[in-house]
Structure 1
Amino acid sequence: MVGAGLSGAVIGRHLAEAGHKITVLDSRDHIGGNCHTARDAETGVMVHVYGPHIFHTDDAEVWGYVNGFESFLPYKNRVKTTSLDPEGRRGVFSLPVNLHTINQFFGKTLRPEEAHEFITEEQADISITDPQTFEEQALRFVGRDLYEAFFKGYTIKQWGVAPSALPASILKRLPVRFNYDDNYFFHKYQGMPENGYTAMIEKILDHPGITVKLETVFDQSQAADYDHVFYSGPLDGYFDYQLGRLGYRTLDFERFTHQGDYQGCAVMNYGEEAVPYTRITEHKHFAPWENHDGSVCYREFSRAATPEDIPYYPIRQVEEKALLGEYVALAEQAEGVTFVGRLGTYRYLDMDVTIREALDTARGFLAAQENRAPVPAFFVAPL
C-alpha cells in the first residue's frame, strides 16, 4: 500500500484479514494522509492539520465500518459567510443559501413559497436554459446578487480562474433551500470521530498482518518486491511525470490563536474577492463535546500547486483531462499495480466515497485472485 491514508489503510486491513501480508509505505512522518488530526500543543485543541474533514454519508455499510474503529459523535456542519448585501453593508449569512439567507440578504420576511417565487421569477436568469459554466449555473439558480455575494469572489480565490471558465457541475453540489435548514450537508449519517481521524486510522492499521513504514518514499522499482501494489499517490508521480504534471490547487494555512471564542463557529467563509483568504476555521468547534479556554484558528489561502506543494484539489479542466487520458493509458499498460484514491484516480473524493471504493477494490482484488483473473489498473475509471 503506497500511502497510509484512508485508501491504503482500508484496503490493507481488508486484505490482511483475508490472510495477506501487507506493507504500508508513506513519505510523511504520520499516518492518515490529509485526514490527519493532532492535538495542538499550545491550546490542546484537536486540529485537522490539512484542513477540516467532516464525515457525512448515506452509505450504511461505510458508516458502520468507521464506527467499528472509532466512536463518531453527532456533528452538523453549519457554515457562515461574511459578505456584502445589495446595499453594500457587510453581514454574516448562512450557507447553503436558505430561507434565512434570502430574507436577511434582501431585507424581507418571505415564507417558503414566496421566497421560491421571488428567487425563480425575480432573481434567477431564466434566459439561461442550458447552463454550461459555473457562472451560468449560479445566475440561473439564484440570480446575480446572490451569485456575486456568495459565490463569485470565493470561487475566484478557490480556483484561481473566472467562474465562467469552470464547469456548471461544480455548483450543482450546492443546494438552495427554501426553509431554515442550515445544515451544510443533507446525508443521513453525519459526525466526527471522538478522538480524531488519526486515532481511527491507527486502529484500522492495527493488525498483525500489517507493517507500516513512515518517512519512506516509494519508487516504481520497488513494485517488483511485492505481489501487488495499491498506489494512492499522484497518478502522474508514479510515472515520474514523464508526460507532464497534472494540475492541482493547494492550500496555505496561516495559524493564529485566541483566548476564548474567536468567531463562534467552525467555518467562516469570506465571499469578497478583496479578502485574500477563502475562510477561517476555528478547530475547537469541530469537537463541541470538548471544552478549551484557548482557541486555534487557521486562515486558508488557495493557489496553484507547485511540484513542492501538497496537492489538494484536482483541476480537471480540458487540458488536464487530456493529459489524464494519456496517463490512464500508461497505467493500464502497467502490471502489478492498481491506482486508488483521490490522487491515484485524479478525482475529488469525499471520505465516505474513498472508503466505499477502497472496500470495493479490496473485494475486487480478492475475487480476481480467486478466479485467476487479471487485476485492473483502476476499479473506478478516472475519466
Structure 2
Amino acid sequence: MHFAIVGAGFTGAVLANELAKAGHNVTVYEIRPHVAGNCYSERDEKTGILLHKYGPHIFHTDNEEVWNYVNQFTDFMPYVNRVKTTSQGNVYSLPINLLTINQYFGKTLSPKEANDFIKSLADGEIDEPQTFEEQAMKFVGKDLYEAFFKGYTLKQWGRSPKELPASILKRLPVRFNYDDNYFNHKYQGMPKNGYTPIVERLLDHANITLHLNTPFSSENKVSVDHVFYTGPIDAWFNYNAGRLGYRTLDFVREDHEGDYQGCAVMNYADEKVPYTRISEHKHFSPWEEQERTVIFKEYSRKCEEGDIPYYPIRLVNEKTMLNAYIGKAKKEKNVSFMGRLGTYRYLDMDVTIAEALDASRKTLDCVNKNKPIPVFFVNPL
C-alpha cells in the first residue's frame, strides 16, 4: 500500500519506519524545515553546545520495549534530571522532598516526622479535589502550595489554579527522603548526539520519501491509500468548529561564559518573575566540556495563529470543541489521527513512541485482514 504520514516527529517517524519495513511505501510530509518536531536538537554554531531548540526533552520511561527500541538508533548516556526552583529568595530542590521540607520550614525532620508534619498542614476538609488549587492544598497545604505551585501555575497556564482542573496536577510527587531525581522511571537518559539523529535514522529507508517545508494538501490525499495525520486535529477541518486552546512558549537566548546557574533547569516559582524557568543547555550533555554557555529564559503564553502549540489546555470549552472534532473525524474516510496534536493530549516521548508502535501493529493487522484502519488508535478523551 501507499501511505501518507503528515508530520515527521516521533509519531510519524516510528510509524513510517515500521510500515516501510513491512514493505509498504510511505510518503512523509513535514511543514517545518527539519524532522523531529519539538524534540529537534542541533549543534549551536557559536559554541558547539547541543541545543534542544524547542525546550528541554529528557527521555524517561518504565516501558522496556520503548527503551530497547530507541537504543537501536543511538547511544543513550546516563542522565538524571535534577530540577531546582527559586522561590521567595531561596533555591530549593524539586520535586518536594525531605531536603525541600526541612529547608523551607527550617527544621531537621526525619522521614516519618516530615510525613506527619505535612499531613498536619494539608487541608483535611477537601475530600475530592476539583481544582488544581484544591489538589495541592489537600496534599501539601497552603504554605508549600503558595511557595512552589501557585505562581508558577499562573504563569504556565495563564489562569488561576482555582480555574484549572485537579487532573493537571494528577499526582503530587512529595518524597519523604532526600531523593531529588525528578523522575521515578526505571530508564532515564539522554541521546549522546541529540534526538534529531534518531528520527533521521527512522526515516532513512528505501520505502520512505520525505518532503520538508511541505504542507499536506487534499491533492496529496487522492494519491495514497491512507493518511496518518499527526498535525492539529482542528487544522485538518480548517478550524470550522473553532480553535482548540494551547499554550505556547517563547524562548529568549543569552550567551555567557563559564557556568551560569549550575544546573540544567531552574524554575522560578514567584509570579513577579515573568519567565517560568531558565534552561542551561550544556548541562543536558554533562559528558561534554564547554567553556561557554547558552541559556534560554522560557515564557508561556496563549497560542495564537502561526505559533507552535505546546500544551493542550483541555478545559471544559476545549473538551466540548474536541468532542465536535472527534465526531467529524469519525466520518472521514481513510484517515487516522495520531500523536499529541492529532488527539489533543499532552504526551511524553515514551508514550508517543509506544502508541506509534501499537498503531503500526494494528495497521498491519488491518491490512493483512483487509479491515478498515481505525480513525483513532486511542481514546482522545
CA deviations over 1:193-215 (Å, ceiling 9, x no partner): 00100011111111111111100
Q: Does 1:101 align with 2:100?
A: yes
Counterpart of 1:138 in 2: which secondary structure?
Answer: helix
Per the TM alignment, residue 332 of structure 1 is displaced from its structure 2 partner at its CA by 0.6
2:295 to 294, 297, 311: 297
Shift of the alpha carbon at 1:18?
0.1
- 2:283 and 2:299 map into 1 onto residues whose CA distance is 20
Secondary structure in 2 matching 1:192? strand
Deviation sequence 1:308-329 (CA, Å, 0-9, x none):
1000000100000000000001
Residues 1:166 and 2:170 are matched in the alignment:
no
**Secondary structure at the counterpart of residue 165 of structure 1:** coil
Residue 178 (str. 1) matches residue 182 (str. 2)? no
Q: Could you tell me how far 1:221 is from its partner in structure 2? A: 3.7
Partner of 2:87: 83
Distance 1:92 1:284 in 2: 20
CA contact (8 A) 1:11 1:362 kept: yes
Query: Of 48, 59, 63, which aligns to 1:59?
Result: 63
Is the aligned partner of 1:2 residue 2:6? Answer: yes
Distance apart, 1:241 and its partner CA: 0.9
The answer for the alignment partner of 1:92 in structure 2 is: 91
**1:280-295 equivalences in 2 (<5 Å):** 280-295=278-293
Tell me the SS of whatever aligns to 1:299.
strand
Residue 380 (structure 1) aligns with = 378
| Counterpart contact for 2:282–2:293, Cα < 8 Å | yes
**Offset, 1:170:** 1.5
Task: Tell whether the 8 Å contact from 2:136 to 2:172 is kept in structure 1 after alignment.
Answer: no
Once residues 293 and 209 of structure 1 are traced to their aligned partners in structure 2, the CA distance between those partners, rounded to angstroms, is: 43
Structure 1 runs (4+) deviating above 2 angstroms are none
Q: Which moved more, 1:163-172 or 1:287-296?
A: 163-172
Superposed, 1:228-247 pairs within 5 Å as: 228-247=226-245
Give the structure 2 partner of residue 73 of structure 1.
77
Count of paired positions: 377
The Cα RMSD (Å) is 0.7
User: What's the CA shift for 1:173?
Assistant: 3.8
Instruction: State the Cα distance separating 1:167 from its structure 2 match.
Output: 1.1
1:37 corresponds to 2:41: yes
Contact 1:29 1:215 (8 Å CA) reproduced: yes
**Runs of 5+ in structure 1 lacking a partner?**
85-89
Q: Is the 8 A contact 1:220 1:238 kept in 2?
A: no
Aligned to 1:87: none
Give the TM-score normalised by structure 2.
0.98
Alpha-carbon deviations, 1:255-283, whole Å to 9, x = none?
00110000000000000000000000000
* SS of residue in 1 equivalent to 2:11: helix
Opposite residue 61 of structure 2, the aligned amino acid is T
The offset of 1:109, in angstroms, is: 0.3
Q: Note if 1:17 corresponds to 2:21.
A: yes
Alignment pair present for 1:270 and 2:268: yes
Q: CA deviation at 1:174?
A: 3.4
Measure the CA separation in 2 of the matches of 1:380 and 1:69.
26
Secondary structure at the aligned position of 1:44 is classed as coil
Matches within 5 A, 1:223-372: 223-372=221-370
Alignment counterpart, residue 220 of structure 1, candidates 218, 221, 240: 218
Question: Structure 2: how far apart are the matches of 1:116 and 1:381?
Answer: 37
TM-superposed CA distance for 1:222, in Å, is: 1.9
Cα distance 1:126–1:356, how it changes in 2: closer, same or farther (>3 A)? same
What TM-score do the two structures reach when normalised by structure 1?
A: 0.98
Distance in 1 between residues matched to 2:124 and 2:168, nearest whole Å: 20
- Asked whether the 8 Å contact 1:223–1:336 carries over to 2, the reply is no
Amino acid at match of 1:142: V
Maintained 8 Å contact 2:16/2:203: yes
Asked if the contact 1:332–1:376 (Cα under 8 Å) also holds between the matched residues in 2, the reply is no
Deviation at 1:334, TM superposition (A): 0.3
